């Protein structure tokens, strides 16, 4: 176990970036470069930090129970959910098995992805020799499905939102790579470059198509390109520790005790302060394209 004796409970709170906690749940932000769990004894993981945080804050004696309900790959950042009781863990795990949770990711992928949104499906099997997964045409793989939506072009790359409909190991990374658009920086799955392209950020969908609605204020898309450039910069700032441009942005589950639907979102301060405006404008443009307004 790592030596945490000199770290105050407050500093554990800061280290963990606690998003939410109650008697049954602990939800934290995982930075890229930190393993969720599974390292040899004595190594620091998100789980060991979280257990020590609970132990110190509530003066727990002995071993602290925390069930790992969701986990992220080492190079991926975002929302991670722990259960503080075995009953909560069992009920939450059942939701994940039944695919009743909602898992939304944001990613920057190489290339200009097309169409603007689509389902990606396929069977995934493990490639133990290369310590990764791959898509297969055979029956030995597990069914995998996600839905992506392009939010904007970032120079020669694309900012996309991903609704992960199943939860296979490395699923997003493998499926996007197989589709020809690996996650930026994900050398393991074929990314060619792990640096931000030094080109003017563009959003062709907003530039080339006028929003046909007089009620939409023009100032909502003023400086849109500069905001996108800031998102691209901020999104990759935390990727310097061996990370990739993939972020678990939002997680929705039913509370294991009350049953109420509850959504956990990464604070924008931990990702990019420009994202609220970016996502808002993308929703306006998407609605206009579908004929929902105007």
Structure tokens belonging to residue 224: 């849109």
Report the distance separating Cα 247 and Cα 237, nearest Å.
12
Q: How many whole angstroms from its chain centre is CA 17?
A: 15
From residue 218, give the alpha-carbon distance in Å to each of 82, 151, 281: 43, 19, 10
From residue 14, give the alpha-carbon distance in Å to each of 150, 205, 272: 33, 39, 18
> Do residues 98 and 92 make contact, with C-beta atoms less than 8 angstroms apart?
no
> Do residues 156 and 112 make contact, with C-beta atoms less than 8 angstroms apart?
yes
Report the distance separating Cα 160 and Cα 36, nearest Å.
24
Strands 246-254 and 77-83, how do they pair?
Answer: parallel
- The helix/strand/coil state of 77 is strand
Question: Cβ neighbours of residue 52 under 8 Å, at least 6 residues apart?
Answer: 2, 4, 7, 12, 64
- Find the helix packing angle between 46-57 and 9-16, rounded to 10°: 150
Closest listed residue to residue 246, CA positions, set 80, 120, 77:
77
Catalytic residue ranges: 73
Report the distance separating Cα 107 and Cα 245, nearest Å.
5
Backbone angles phi, psi at 175, to 5 degrees: -70, -40
Report the distance separating Cα 43 and Cα 113, nearest Å.
39
> Do residues 29 and 51 make contact, with C-beta atoms less than 8 angstroms apart?
no
């Amino acid at each position: 176990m790592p030596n945490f004796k000199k770290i105050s409970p407050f500093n554990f709170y800061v280290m963990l970036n606690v998003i939410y906690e109650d008697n049954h749940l602990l939800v934290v932000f995982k930075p890229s470069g930190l393993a969720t769990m599974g390292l040899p004894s004595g190594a620091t993981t998100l789980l060991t930090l979280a257990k020590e945080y609970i132990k110190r804050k509530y003066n727990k004696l002995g071993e602290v129970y925390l069930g790992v309900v969701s986990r992220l790959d080492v190079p991926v950042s975002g929302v991670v959910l722990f259960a503080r009781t075995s009953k909560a863990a069992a009920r939450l795990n059942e939701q994940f098995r039944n695919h009743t949770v909602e898992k939304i990711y944001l990613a920057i992928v190489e290339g200009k992805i097309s169409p603007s949104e689509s389902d990606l499906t396929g069977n995934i099997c493990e490639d133990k020799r290369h310590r990764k997964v791959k898509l297969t045409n055979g029956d030995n793989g597990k069914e995998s499905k996600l839905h992506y939506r392009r939010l904007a072009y970032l120079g020669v790359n694309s900012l996309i939102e991903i609704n992960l409909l199943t939860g296979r190991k490395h699923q997003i990374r493998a499926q996007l790579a197989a589709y020809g658009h690996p996650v930026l920086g994900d050398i393991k799955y074929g990314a060619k470059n792990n640096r931000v392209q030094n080109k003017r950020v563009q959003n062709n969908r907003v530039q080339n198509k006028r929003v046909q609605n007089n009620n939409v204020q023009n100032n909502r898309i003023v400086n849109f390109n500069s905001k996108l450039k800031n998102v691209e910069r901020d999104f990759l700032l935390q990727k310097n520790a061996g990370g990739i441009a993939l972020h678990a942005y939002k997680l929705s589950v039913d509370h294991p005790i009350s049953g109420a639907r509850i959504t956990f979102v990464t604070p924008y301060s931990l990702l990019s302060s420009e994202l609220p405006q970016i996502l808002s404008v993308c929703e306006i443009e998407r609605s206009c394209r579908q004929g929902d307004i105007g």
